[in-house]
Amino acid sequence: MNPLIILFLVIIILMLFTSIMLYFIQDKIIFHPENISKSHQFNFSNEFEEIFLESVDGVSLNGVLFQLTDPKGLVLYYHNHSGNLKHCGNAVYRFNQLNYDVLVMDYRGFGKSEGTYNELKMYEDAELWYNHAKLLYGEKNTVLFGRGLGASFAGYVAARNNPKYLLLESAMYSLYFASHYHYRFLPKKWILKYKFDLADNLKDVACKTYIFHGMKDDLIHYSNAEKLNDISKEKSELILIPEGNHYNLGNNTTFLHKIEEIFSQ
């Protein structure tokens, strides 16, 4: 047999094997949760109230509301794809310092929240928390903040409601687009069980949107942010941070100054 044909067949077999493997392990690639016992007692330096909500399908969801005496409003914070709400301390402190209460929740399968990953159900959960926040603070005083995977949930909620602002940090345009950076030659349309299509929701967002992204982000390339900004330039502002990566924006001076500017309006 022609050596080129053999090489071609080997490449096809390797791609097929890799695709099948990725299909079955993608949950472990996308989600990196840390579970917490229901009996665990949170210990935060800020004043807080632990909250449990029941999802539409009867799943118990856990969140923590960090409260001030006389807040200007609320930040509803959708965290990244890993850990749990215990790892959001820096963000909580940052927004509390700007005189905003902060509500952080764990997605189903994270922290104390029950359930298993389901994109549609997770979107419903995200809006459930928004509806709870809206009852307490009203929409005009509620800011949505989504980091990484959490930006997909924040965008979904913003598209169906009227929050004060939408802030996106290190967001994916869509899972398909973001994964192209890592799996360029694989048939992603056949592999991916999830969409997390923020772009599809962002076109329906009416509020002012701020898009933050590090230009050294090796997990979610900053081209995701550029494409998101192209959707509605008249309603969005793109803040690219040259020295920023996927993990260090929270300590970046440019990022922090811009956050302070937004919340002082």
Tens digit of pLDDT at every position of the chain (265 positions): 677 776 666 666 676 667 677 778 899 989 999 999 999 999 998 899 999 999 999 999 999 999 999 999 999 999 999 999 999 988 999 999 999 999 999 999 999 999 999 999 999 999 999 999 999 999 999 999 999 999 999 999 999 999 999 999 999 999 999 998 877 767 777 789 999 999 999 999 999 999 999 999 999 999 999 999 999 888 999 999 999 999 999 999 999 999 999 999 8
How many distinct structural domains can be found in the chain? 1
Nearest to 156 by CA among 201, 197, 211, 206: 201
- Residue 188: the pLDDT is 72
256 contact partners, CB below 8 Å, separation of at least 6? 94
- Residue 213: the pLDDT is 98
Burial 236-248 (b: 16+ CB within 10 A, else e): bebbebeebebee
Cβ atoms of residues 164 and 140 within 8 Å: yes
- Residue 124: the pLDDT is 98
Cβ atoms of residues 210 and 165 within 8 Å: yes
- Residue 9: the pLDDT is 64
- Residue 7: the pLDDT is 65
DSSP string, the chain: --HHHHHHHHHHHHHHHHHHHHHHHHHHHH-EE-B--TT-----SS-EEEEEEE-TTS-EEEEEEE--SS-SEEEEEE--SEE-GGGGHHHHHHHHHTTEEEEEEPPTTSBT--S---HHHHHHHHHHHHHHHHHHH-GGGEEEEEETTHHHHHHHHHHTS--SEEEEES--S-HHHHHHTT-TTS-HHHH-S----HHHHHTT--SEEEEEEETT-SSS-THHHHHHHHH-TTTEEEEEETT--SS-GGG-HHHHHHHHHHHT-
Q: Could you tell me if residue 172 is inside a domain?
A: yes
- Residue 123: the pLDDT is 98
- Residue 10: the pLDDT is 62
- Residue 11: the pLDDT is 62
Q: Could you tell me if residue 3 is inside a domain?
A: no
Q: Could you tell me if residue 183 is inside a domain?
A: yes
Q: Could you tell me if residue 4 is inside a domain?
A: no
- Residue 57: the pLDDT is 96
Question: How far, CA to CA in Å, does 242 sit from each of 12, 239, 248?
Answer: 38, 10, 12
Q: Could you tell me if residue 1 is inside a domain?
A: no
CATH number of 234's domain = 3.40.50.1820
Q: Could you tell me if residue 5 is inside a domain?
A: no
Range of the domain at 116: 31-263
Q: Could you tell me if residue 18 is inside a domain?
A: no
Q: Could you tell me if residue 56 is inside a domain?
A: yes
Tell me, rounded to whole angstroms, the distance of Cα 82 from its chain centroid.
Answer: 10
Neighbours of 41 (CB within 10 A): 6
